[in-house]
Chains A and B, each alone.
Chain A
């Protein structure tokens, strides 16, 4: 404990980080230094704070690419207002429940469509009538012939009705 310094240890301990950072005023710094000469506990605290600072070592520098400034200026004057960098190795976000249901539905529809195509192909090759067998012309001829016969029958009936005498005149 300091016996001669006019400043208390708790005050000095509170000032240690800013003192080590050299962010105290000259007069406060001088007072702390005088206290430290007499107080080993506060000196330990300062030493501890300085030890922690030894860990803060910057990593290797990154070189500025040649022509970077000219490139940026060109882009800026071309109207580029900047964008967020695309995440290079970001893991895909997990699908929400609704998304999973939608994906399942799509898969189901795809499977069903595939099944329909397969069934169609199987039926096509299973002995169904060929186009040549479907003689639409033959049916039409028969129908026309029947219609013609019906017309003739009606015409004949009309003629017969005209030639009949009117009864009761």
Chain B
């Protein structure tokens, strides 16, 4: 089959074509999702070469395991899961941000410093988007991977809770819980690294909030 006609085919047909030995089918699959995977992986490394390596590795792993893909689930969700695992393997090998188990009380506990919790922190209006992005990345580099991954998916990739749950193979409740803790950890770390952006939150209706 010619490439232009393949480009309109469903993922499932392209997967079957690949399994039947047609390289063009796999090439079209790679073309379809390469941009999104490059977009995902760039949140984890500043090196364009490493981004390319990780994405390539993801597609090669997907190809080698294609027979195990269950057509009942979305191909992209399955591919995304392989990408996340490949990223985490990469980070682990690099000795960066070791993955912590969710049971880790230090990792999942609420921020101990309530003063920090009450503080508001907002980007300075004079900051360029690129500067904010750099600050955000430096804070996220310090987060346990379990929190960083869920923040990347939700805040940077704008994924729905259900899609995150499918990729991570957890419940929506777990996604909500991890997001809540991840944001708390992010805010705490942001305040520690950049206290200059903190502003004491005036909370005049604190008494009102208890109804």
Contacts and interface: CB of A to CB of B under 8 A. Distances in A.
A123 B90 CA distance: 58
Nearest to B49: A88
A51 B120 contact: yes
A61 B161 contact: no
Contacts of A75: 56, 60
A88 B47 contact: yes
A131 interface: no
Interface string A3-27: 0000011100100011001010000
B160 to A, nearest CB: 7
Nearest to B66: A76
B39 A59 contact: no
Interface string B114-151: 00000011110000011011111101000000000001
B176 A83 contact: no
Contacts of B64: 76, 81-82
Given A40-B205, A52-B187, A82-B60, A68 B30 contact: yes
B43 A64 contact: no
A48 B63 CA distance: 44
A147 to B, nearest CB: 79
B180, B201, B208 — most chain A CB neighbours (10 Å): B208
B155 interface: yes
Interface string B6-35: 000000000000000101101110110011
A47 to B, nearest CB: 9
Interface in B55-69: 55-61, 63-64
Contact of A72 (B24, B60, B186): B60
A9 B53 contact: no
B38 A62 contact: yes
Interface residues of B, number: 75
B72 interface: no
A82 B58 CA distance: 7
A53 interface: yes
Contacts of A18: 161, 176
B30 A44 contact: no
B73 interface: no
Contacts of B61: 81-82
A73 B30 contact: yes
B94 A90 contact: yes
B204 to A, nearest CB: 8
B209 interface: yes
B89 interface: yes
A76 B58 CA distance: 11
A39 B205 CA distance: 9
B60 A85 contact: no
A41 interface: yes
A62 to B, nearest CB: 5
B161 A85 contact: no
